[in-house]
Structure 1
């Protein structure tokens, strides 16, 4: 009989629990016998090491250990230590594989921090599914409450205070009418156990300086020892009135070898952490907001410190403390969820999709606690089916729900499974995620509840665009509402969703998505910035921009497009109105992914879409690849440096003819102040033969970074007007959009 597993992936430790056929849940020991595995990775001797082995190596090789791998996964960035750099997913996957061990292949409920975005949770689920485990991701706070086995007919409010190793999270959970609902969440980064340890490290380093007359903070190896002793003292002070800290023998500046031993009292320790406790309580009160909790549940290793428990329980004295196992609570709740529960879990970010069985990985990809030489780590070999933007979206009737399940291939290509659930009824209930066969149903707060205060921006042929606000964080977002009955709009919706999980500072991020009877909804990150077109003018109002400013804008835009190209996503409509610019600090967001599509190596795109003035010749010839985006960025750079487009025409016919056959003008013809290096670069970017261009935006970015910009003569260009109003919806007369 298959076992169901619960996996608690925390910033400091990873813990595993199992749901037995008898209905019991219990922790599962790692291969080394411990019931928790350090969330660490180390790169030493040209090999990656994980968990306990990485912790052991941290003493001798402190610079080769990554302690923030989970945070790196959340931000979708790389883990770079010891001279090696790998995508965070390529590090987290074998780390979790070492925890799962022989249990890999069983269904798993994965707990993730309650304040994570849905895209980050999806990346975590993908790491588990590569190991062959059907994965369901659920916020940790809900699972902690589920571990207490609440009655389905209960009516309670549980305040969950999770004080772990790196972060503090406070959540208010409502139990009512068979639902376990996340009402509110507040989080504080770099609080909790790590802060406690840092206070002790500072105390010990100061004490050592007084004894030796020498500041140990400049000795990295010694400070690694001090941190390890501080961690042990923290645990001891949780149950004793005093801790003796033996720092061993230390060589003083005069060469004398001294044995250093310091004493820390519990009162000293309590004084050190009092400010952290006060900050945690402030966040907890923000969550409660007058809604008095009936119960209090303490989670996380730092809640085992009696002083911490007393402070929390005194602050919420009216709430009845719930019994639990702080360090195992979340993993046990995840295992209980995997085994089945009559309660329906509802939270305010995004419901986990039903588990989708992943293909079994090849034996060579099965990770161990410390895998074979990995420089670099091999990517997982279980690739999902190819995505097609022509995926048919079924008609959704009253009472039915459309579910799009994200998968990400080892190459970073996003694909979707489309599922329609529910029976048609006379009236549609609030939109929820479809019920999963196993584990039982989990639903998300409806989009209308999460994204509130909509204000109309624009109505177009494919749908409507609104401003809105996140009801939880008050963040301003943009909602694209696509017309379900419009084939072009349906395709644009799916194209935008290919950006799910792509977290890059220069790309507008997809935060949420959904569907109802009439519309397909995508929630996008949005900043109140002008477009590049607004910033630099249109038509006769355009003028040349300073070279240094223009190149920096192009570097940032190319960085965003490069993140798309890493997924083999071709944007296909890069132009000034799809590039936002923050005028004060100079930042850039690439937007407008309605036409984005995947193009694999050796393949070409055979449809003609985009905006004609920025369209590469091979797009018109229906043989385009990622280099068409490089060409478009070249046109934008040409326009910034000269105030002119490289090709123009009185109508589309003349413009088509110019792009196809006219010689490419040099930028210095329009702006004699440009350095020769600009003409050379633009000549490559706008080459009619795509083979002469950089192969993708990553290669373009490398060229831009290598440029040396000479100072310009006074008055050679003008800076953008930072006070110009942001009006991103004008379309200059020279921008003809094409799709055929």
Structure 2
């Protein structure tokens, strides 16, 4: 995808913004070139999202119109919205795609892939999901955030309302707008729900990628506990809770997940997991549900959890050759093969000497087992033990028979 251009967003257009004309005209054909705008999907302090259809191919999209009424903030958004093009370059199954951006009636807008009408917020409002469902959603969210971090991009506004659910796929959205919003957060009122998921360091405007890890912790906590860790009568009280109060854990949060959450929700960013990859590794505790789910979604995405195998055409053709005892059987096979080779030498030489004095029986007692030693390398250690006992018995029999 070619980088999106911000040339269509002149600063002079800021003063011409008008929501009155927007509500009057947005349903008209051609309001956004190439799109037919449908019903409203949602909205908040920072914008309104509508479902739209691309007329040329009939495909569904979502268009978000940024609601920035403060003139100073609006100017900044128009100047910086070109940074959305950086996010548009990240292509990942667990991210809502960014397709285009522009300005209409002085209102900045972004065209995104349609990820369904349902969000994790609406799902949680229906009740606490079971552990498996919660982890399946959470791991996918982590994969999407990890893709952003791999491109040196930070979401900064992770919350259930920005996680879209369609079928069994979870996608993280609104990531292209978050930095614009956070840069002006002191000039804007907080969006509904946002303070509940903010990292403590955001109050000092010191956020980095580990702030996303904290927000992921709040989301996982809510999925397992059915509530956010900090509530209050005001947004400021909630924010101070993140900064100063200890997290309490209900019985629904099991011991293993409590350990994970304690790291994620640490007040000090240095005490948290330092990457999403480290978090996913922690979720893969052996024998637990998280292990299979993390591996499953790693395999779906061709991730590090599932190493790629070489294709047949990349392997050089090899000739068939006899199997050597102990070869190709790993450490145990190598040891067995080595023991057998020493045993052959140790028995052959004494057999000839002992056979002179002890007779034909001892010669047979040694020579017959040696004839089958070439096959022993393919047998298990138990079978080898049986053969050794048989060899010893035959040798003793030959001794007395001689």
Q: What TM-score do the two structures reach when normalised by structure 1?
A: 0.32
Find the aligned partners of 2:274 and 2:100 in 1 and give their Cα distance: 32
Change (3 A) 1:560 1:612: same
The structure with more helix, counted as a fraction of residues: 2
Whole-Å separation in 2 of the counterparts to 1:580 and 1:707? 29
Map 1:233-632 → 2, pairs under 5 A: 393-396=10-13, 448-457=32-41, 462-482=46-66, 486-489=71-74, 491=77, 493-494=81-82, 496-516=84-104, 518-537=106-125, 543-582=127-166, 584=167, 586-593=168-175, 595-597=177-179, 611-632=194-215
Larger radius of gyration: 2
Whole-Å separation in 2 of the counterparts to 1:353 and 1:632: 30
2:352 maps to which residue?
Answer: none
Partners in 1 of 2:285 and 2:247 — Cα distance?
A: 24
CA 1:710 to 1:466, structure 2 compared with 1: closer, same or farther past 3 Å? closer
The 8 Å contact of residues 506 and 589 in structure 1, kept in 2 or not, is answered as yes
Given the alignment of the two structures, is residue 658 of structure 1 paired with residue 275 of structure 2, yes or no? no
**Which residue does the alignment assign to 1:149?**
none
- Asked if the contact 1:544/1:642 (under 8 Å) is kept, the reply is yes
> Is contact 1:555–1:705 with CA below 8 Å preserved after alignment?
no
1:459–1:507: structure 2 CA closer, same or farther, 3 Å change rule? closer
**Mapped pair 1:639 → 2:256:** no
The counterpart of 2:262, out of the listed 656, 672, 683, is 683
Does structure 1 residue 698 correspond to structure 2 residue 281?
no
Distance in 1 separating the partners of 2:68 and 2:261: 41
C-alpha distance in 2 between matches for 1:476 and 1:496: 21
SS at match of 2:99: strand
CA contact (8 A) 2:98 2:110 kept: yes
Q: SS state of the match for residue 466, structure 1?
A: strand
Q: CA deviation at 1:453?
A: 4.3
Give the C-alpha shift of residue 653 in structure 1. 3.9
Q: Is the 8 A contact 1:449 1:471 kept in 2?
A: no
Map Cα deviations across residues 598-643 of structure 1 (whole Å, 9 max, x no partner). 9xxxxx9896677211111111233221111100010010111111
Change (3 A) 1:653 1:480: closer
Name stretches of at least 5 consecutive residues in structure 1 with no aligned partner. Answer: 1-118, 123-349, 355-391, 398-445, 599-603, 712-740
**Secondary structure at the residue paired with 2:270?**
helix
Residues in 1 aligned to 2:124 and 2:131: alpha-carbon distance in whole angstroms: 13
Distance 2:82 2:228 in 1: 31
Match in the other structure for 1:307: none
- 1:690–1:707 CA distance, 2 compared to 1 (3 A): farther
User: Aligned in 2, Cα 1:705/1:560: closer, same or farther, shift over 3 Å?
Assistant: farther
Question: So what's the TM-score if we normalise by structure 2?
Answer: 0.57
| CA offsets 1:532-587 (integer angstroms, 9 cap, x no match) | 011121xxx6x4322222122111001111111122222111111111122x4x21
> Which whole-Å CA distance do the structure 2 matches of 1:560 and 1:488 have between them?
28
- Equivalenced residues, count: 264
Q: As a proportion of its length, which structure holds more strand? A: 1
Cα distance, 1:353 vs structure 2: 9.9
The alpha-carbon deviation at position 702 of structure 1 amounts to: 3.5
Superposed counterparts of 1:205-244, under 5 Å: none
Task: Tell me if the contact between 2:221 and 2:227 (Cα under 8 Å) persists in the aligned partners.
Answer: yes
CA contact (8 A) 2:73 2:184 kept: no
SS in 2 for 1:648: coil
Q: Which runs of 5+ in 2 are unaligned?
A: 15-29, 291-402
Using the TM superposition, give the Cα deviation of residue 663 of structure 1 relative to its aligned residue in structure 2, in angstroms. 1.5
1:418-469 deviations in whole A, cap 9, x for unaligned? xxxxxxxxxxxxxxxxxxxxxxxxxxxx883422244444566555432111
Tell me how far apart the structure 1 counterparts of residues 112 and 239 of structure 2 sit (CA, whole Å): 33
Supply the distance in 2 between the matched residues of 1:710 and 1:501 (Cα, whole angstroms): 33
Residue 395 of structure 1 deviates from its aligned partner by 1.2
Deviation at 1:709, TM superposition (A): 2.5
Distance 2:138 2:109 in 1: 30
- By how many angstroms is 1:649 displaced? 1.8
Checking the alignment, whether the CA contact within 8 Å between 1:476 and 1:526 is kept in structure 2 is: yes
Contact kept? 1:646, 1:665, Cα under 8 Å: yes
Deviations 1:453-492, CA, capped at 9 Å, x for gaps: 4444456655543211112221100112336874445628
Per-residue CA deviation, residues 261-320 of structure 1 (Å, 9 max, x unaligned), is xxxxxxxxxxxxxxxxxxxxxxxxxxxxxxxxxxxxxxxxxxxxxxxxxxxxxxxxxxxx
SS of 2:111's partner is: strand
